Amino acid sequence: MSRINGFVGRRDFLKFASVIGIAATAFGDSFWNTEQTAIADIHRVSPNPVNPNEAIKRLLDGNQRFINQKRKYPDQSLEHLRLVAKAQYPFAAILGCADSRVPAEIVFDQGLGDLFVVRVAGNVVSDTVIGSLEYSTTVLGSQLIVVLGHKRCGAVAEAIKNEPLPGRIGLIIEGIKPSVEMVKLRTGDNMQDAVIANIQYQTEKLQESSTILAKLLSEGKLKIVGACYDIDTGKVNIIT
């Protein structure tokens, strides 16, 4: 199949999807079980894979440069742009909040092709988020996923207020409420406690909701960690 920017070309994908559909009709549930296993066993194509611990170090080193205003702006040259146009090998995947103050590539001082970033309000795990992260790990070879929440998250604040919301905003907030319930009886900074609880909850949900990610975790080929960004200082702290 032809690939464009790391993705299968549309024409080839449609042909592939047609074959998948015919096979699924013919073999039923047994086909999908086999297909799921096959996807989980996809070999990574990265020529220089980065292990999870080194990936965390790269991120935290970059964050320290950002805090100290000594950014290197790595991998942002025209030469590198042309290089990653041919293929992408992100060394880490980030599930972050859509908040405009938390752009992952900037706060971690990274460049083109370094990070596979999925952003949604409240860094909430959903089926589309899981699918994107399964792609980043099984196809692109990322061995680290960071669930990145942040201080004074508006989505978490709405979950704490527990009031009706217009449109589909409420669907996002519903995905945060279970974590808020965990901290209701605590004393102290309930807002920050809820932010941390939500990061931990989404991290656990990500691990428990994907057989593909669970398999990689059990094989020691993937690490998923939570992290919290301080919008006042710019610092990222890993949540244990």
Binding residue positions for Zn(2+): 97, 99, 150, 153
Residue ranges of the binding site: 97, 99, 150, 153
Q: How many Cα atoms sit within 13 Å of 174 on the Cβ side?
A: 9
DSSP-based three-state secondary structure for 163: coil
Residue with tokens 């699924």: 24
DSSP-based three-state secondary structure for 77: coil
Say how far apart CA 112 and CA 79 lie, in whole Å: 11
Residue 68, Cβ density class (10 Å: 0-12 exposed, 13-18 middle, ≥19 buried): exposed
Residue with tokens 């398999």: 215
Whether 217 and 238 have beta carbons less than 8 Å apart is answered as no
Buried b or exposed e, range 114-124, using 16+ CB within 10 angstroms: bbbbbbbbbbb
Q: Which residues pair with 69 in a beta bridge?
A: none
Pick from 41, 141, 35: nearest CA to 87: 141
